[in-house]
Every structure is written in C-alpha cells, then in structure tokens.
Amino acid sequence: MGTEHRPSATHLRRLVWIVVAVFLFMIVEAVTGVLTGSLALLSEAGHMLTDLIGLSMALAAILAARRTGSVRNTFGLYRIEILAALANAVLLFGVAVYVIVESLGRLRDPEPIAVGPVLIVAVIGLVINIVAWRLLHDGAGTSLNLEGAYLEVLADLIGSVGVILAALVVHFTGWLQADPGVALVIALYIIPRAVSLGRKAVRILLQSAPDGVDVAAVQADLEALDGVAAVHDIHLWTLTSQMHVGSAHLVVDPDADSHGVLDRARNVLIERHQIDHATLQIEPDDHRNCEETIW
C-alpha cells in the first residue's frame, strides 16, 4: 500500500542540469573573486562549492533511493536522502560560519575590489540561480533532500542579489565595507535555514513521530473502530520525505471480524493520518502479553 515517494524523473533531470551549471559557474566566480579581491564574490563561490557538493549528494541519494529493497536493506535505501539532507545542512552551516569570520575581519580592514568584473559575474549568477530556483521549486515540497538542494540555490540567488548591490554601492559611494557587509548578511540568512533543515533530518533519523501527525489522535481513531477493544504499542515514524510508516497492536473483541478490522484500520491510517505503510498485529482480547515494551 502507499503511493509513489521517489522524486520524479523530471526533477532528476533538472537536478543534473543544475549540478552542471553550478560547477561551471563556481569556477567563473572563484577566478573572478580572486582576481578582483571581492569577498562577497568569493563567499558566493565558496557557497557554490558547497552547493555543488550538496547537489551532487542529493543527486546520488535520489539515484540510490530508487533501488528496491533487498534481504539486507528491507526498506530499500530511502534513508540515504535524509542523510544527504543532513550533510547538506552541515555544509551550509560550516560555510556560513566561515564567511561570518572573514566578513568581520574585512569590515575592520576593508580591501578595494574591481567592481566591473564582479558586477558582470554576479548578474550572470543571478540569471543562473533564478532558473535553478524555478526548476527546483516544485520538487522542494516533495522531498527533504530536494528541499535542501532548493535552499542551497535560494541562498545563492539571494547572494547574487547581494553581490550586485554591494558592487553598486562600492562603485557609486566608495564604501568598501559594503562588500563584506553583504557577505555577512548572506551568511546570517543561511544559518537558520541550515539549522531548520538539519533539525528536520535529525528528527527523521531519530524516528520521531511525523510532523503534523498526532499520535494520540491516531490511537483514538483506531480504538473507535468497530470490533477494536484496545490499541497498544503504537509507533509512528517517517522513513523518508512524505513517507510515513507505523505499527500497532489491535486488541479485538471475541466476535470481531479480524479481516474487516484490518481493512478499516488501514483506511483510517491512510485517509485521516497519511500513514502510507502500517504493520498491524491483531490480538484476541485475552492475549496481551506483548503490551509491555522497553520503549
């Protein structure tokens, strides 16, 4: 039972094109940043490097997750997507901290930058990031892994706007602190989003109850079914993005139709609580020796 949870082939193809574009433009940004002395542009190039790593991990994770389950990996490799999302969050956070440290130093001791090349590269980067942002926008809500990739591109888009503004300020006012100031703002924008992404990934890896799913309400709905006397050992968790699974023991009345109870219980879990895959154990009313567990 359940629905399709893998990112579509369309999202996969889009991600491949984005990885190629990011790789090529990262080289352009890094070279231009070194030649012009722009910290904002170098911070963008550094962030593009983490984008490249993160997007490549996202791509590899999607491909790995498409493999079906095996005797050893009975759920398949869906969790690789979550691990990739967590790694993405760590990379984003690390680069942001580095940029903050560098920016604070440059604010105290600013250095001149070559505005013309910086502005040209930043405008090209803005166009690339807008296209990438649009390509990933639809998939961000379907996969935590794609959400991580989407956040990377969104941060780059904002970074490109910031670099353009910094270059214009330096050009028209001569205020050199605009360049590290923009780099600092970009980093401060990235940090809370990296933390949020990491928190979501950790919750899934810890097998916490899915966001938006009320465990007490699930138990109450199951206990309200005809033929169900009690429910115990109920566990709900997320296997990968938008794929919620669970297990429970249903104690049934002596004259209950076990097959009917199972069908009704599964319908309730799917239709009311979006639990896509459930393992339900039917127990007679006088059999409760499994009720006590260590968790």
pLDDT at res. 1? 40
Q: What is the pLDDT along the chain (295 residues), one digit of tens a residue?
A: 444 445 556 667 777 888 888 888 888 888 887 887 777 677 777 767 767 776 777 777 677 666 666 777 777 777 887 887 888 788 888 888 988 998 898 888 887 877 888 888 888 888 888 888 887 776 666 666 677 777 778 877 887 888 888 889 988 998 988 888 888 888 888 888 889 889 989 999 999 999 889 999 999 999 999 999 999 999 999 988 778 999 999 999 988 888 999 999 999 999 999 898 899 999 887 765 555 555 5
In a shared domain, residues 196 and 275: no
In a shared domain, residues 84 and 161: yes
In a shared domain, residues 21 and 166: yes
Assign 3-class secondary structure to 15-55.
HHHHHHHHHHHHHHHHHHHHHHCCHHHHHHHHHHHHHHHHH
pLDDT at res. 3? 42
Residue 4 lies in a domain: no
In a shared domain, residues 190 and 244: no
Residue 253 lies in a domain: yes
In a shared domain, residues 117 and 176: yes
Number of domains composing the chain: 2
Task: Assign residue 230 the CATH number of its domain.
Answer: 3.30.70.1350
In a shared domain, residues 156 and 219: no
Residue 293 lies in a domain: no
In a shared domain, residues 53 and 161: yes
Residue 237 lies in a domain: yes
Task: Assign residue 177 the CATH number of its domain.
Answer: 1.20.1510.10
In a shared domain, residues 118 and 220: no
Distances in Å between the Cα of 214 and the Cα atoms of 218, 234, 245, 251 are 6, 12, 13, 21
Domain that holds residue 273: 215-284
Residue 273 lies in a domain: yes
pLDDT at res. 67? 67
Structure tokens given for 82:
């979550």
In a shared domain, residues 195 and 248: no
Domain endpoint, select from 205, 238, 260: 205
In a shared domain, residues 198 and 252: no
In a shared domain, residues 226 and 199: no
In a shared domain, residues 182 and 266: no
Furthest-apart CA pair in the chain: how many Å?
A: 85
Give the integer Cα–Cα distance in Å for 8 and 137: 13
